Structure 1
C-alpha cells in the first residue's frame, strides 16, 4: 500500500510539472485540443454522410453507431492523455540508449515511461466523446440509473485499459527491433473497425478484433449492453475481465522484454 501511495505522489509530481508547462503555453494547449476535436469530428461527418443515403446499416441506426463512437472516443482519450508516451519507447528511449537511465532509478521503468508525458491533446477527444455520448443517448432513449451510469464508467475505463494493453504489448517488440512503431501504428489502425458494429464485417474480421486483438471490447460490446433492440451480449459483461487479462498479458510481455534489453548505445 505504501508503494502504491508513493507512485501516486510521484505521478502527481510529474503531472504538476506538465500542467505548469501547459499554463505557460496556453495557445499550444488550445490548438492541440481543438485539432483533436476537428480530427475526430471529421469521422462523425463521414458517418453522417453515409447515413444521409441509408436509414440503417444492417439493422443499426445512426444514433446507435454514434453511441459506439462515443465509448470508443472516451476510452481512447484515457490512453491518449495518460499513456501516450508509450508510442515513443523505440526512438526516444531504446534507440538512443536513454532507457538505461530509467533502469538506474529505484522506480518501475514502465511507470517512468508513462509519467514522463502528459498529453493534453487527449482532452479534445474526451470532450467530443462526452458531447457525442449526450447527443446519441438523447435519441436512443436509454434509461439512466445508478447501475447504468456505473456500468458505463466501468466500460469506459476498461476500454481505455484495453487500448493501453494492446499498445504496450506491441511497443514491447522495440526491445528486439529497436523501434516497433510501424507495427504499433498498423495494429492501432484496426481500432477503427471497433467504432462500428462488428456484425457488419466478415466473420474473419470479427474474430480478429474480438479474440486476437480485442478492439471490439473497446466500444462495440460495451455499447451493446445498453442497446436493448440488439439484446444484451454476454461479451459486454466480460469486458472488464478482457481488459484486466489483456493488461496482465501485456505487462508480463513488457517485463520479459525489459529482461532481454540490450543497450544500443548512442
Structure 2
C-alpha cells in the first residue's frame, strides 16, 4: 500500500477529516450547553475515542467482509476459495488490509489523550490493560455484527445495503444511552449490541456513571456475539449455492 504513498496518505487524511468533523459537531453542541444528561464534553470524547479505536481495528483488518457479496459470491469468485485447503473466511479477511483505518486509529488516540487529563482518572497497569481489553472487545463486536450481516449474502447474493443500514446505527453508541428511549436502548444493548462498542465500556472507567456493572460484561458480550456470528457463517456456508459466472 505504501508503494503509492500519495494514495495512502490521501486515504488516511480523508478519514482524519471525516472523523474530525464529527468531533467538531460535538464541540459545537457543548458550546451551547454544559452537559448532556449529566455527561460532560470530555466524557463524551472518551466514549467517542473508545468507539473510534475499536472501529478502526476492525476496519483495518476485517474490512474485506464488506465485499463478500459483490466481489466473491455474485461473480462466482467464492468458488475458488472453497477449493483451496485454507479456511474461506480467513482467505477473505486476509486478502485486504484497509489503510483508512490507520487514520481513524490516529484520531482515536489523539481524542483519548485529549479527554483523559480532564477526567481525573487514575491510571495504573491494571487500568491500562483493562482499557486495551475493552477496545479489543469493541473491535470484536464490530466484527461480529459485520460478519453476521455479511453472511446474509449466501442467501441474498449481496447484503451490502443491509450492512450499510445496520452500520449506521453504531453512531448512536457514541452518546450516552440515557438520551434515547427504552426501545433504542434495548436494541443497542441486546439485539445489535453497539452499546458495548463505546458507551458501556467507556462508562466502566467513569465514576458515578451508573453503568459500570454493565460495562464489565463487554468482553463476554464480544465472545458471545462473535460465536453467534461464526455459527451463522458456518450455516450460511453450508447453504451456499454457486451463482456461476
Coarse TM-score class (shorter-chain normalised): over 0.9
CA-based RMSD of the aligned residues comes to 0.7
- 1:80, 1:119 within 8 Å by CA — same for their partners in 2? yes
- Where does structure 1 lack aligned partners over 5 or more consecutive residues? 1-21
2:150 is matched with: 171
Mapped contact 1:164–1:247 kept (Cα < 8 A)? yes
Residues 205, 212 of structure 2: 8 Å contact kept: no
Structure 1 distance, partners of 2:210, 2:37, is 15
CA distance in 1, matches of 2:78, 2:155: 13
CA drift of 1:127 comes to 0.3
Counterpart pick for 1:96 among 66, 71, 75? 75
The answer to whether the 8 Å contact 1:97/1:263 transfers is yes
Alpha-carbon shift at residue 81 of structure 1 (Å):
0.4
Task: State whether residues 165 and 246 of structure 1, in contact with CA within 8 Å, keep that contact through their aligned partners in structure 2.
Answer: yes
More moved, 221-230 vs 85-94: 221-230
Contact 1:86 1:168 survives alignment (8 Å): yes
Aligned position for 1:27: 6
The Cα shift of 1:232 comes to: 5.1
> How far is the alpha carbon of 1:231 from its aligned partner?
3.8
Aligned to 2:239: 260
In the alignment, structure 1 residue 114 sits paired with structure 2 residue 125: no
| Partner Cα distance (2:195, 2:169) in 1 | 10
How many residues of Structure 1 are paired with residues of Structure 2 in the alignment?
Answer: 245
Within 5 Å, give how 1:83-232 maps onto structure 2: 83-231=62-210
Cα drift, residue 229 of structure 1: 2.8
Matched, 1:81 2:63: no
Secondary structure in structure 1 of the residue aligned to 2:208: helix
Query: Scaled by the length of structure 2, what TM-score is found?
Result: 0.99
CA distance in 2, matches of 1:113, 1:23: 21
Q: Secondary structure at the match of 2:185?
A: helix
Q: Measure the CA separation in 2 of the matches of 1:94 and 1:231.
A: 46
- In the TM superposition, residue 138 of structure 1 has moved relative to its aligned partner by 1.0
Q: Is the 8 A contact 1:226 1:232 kept in 2?
A: no
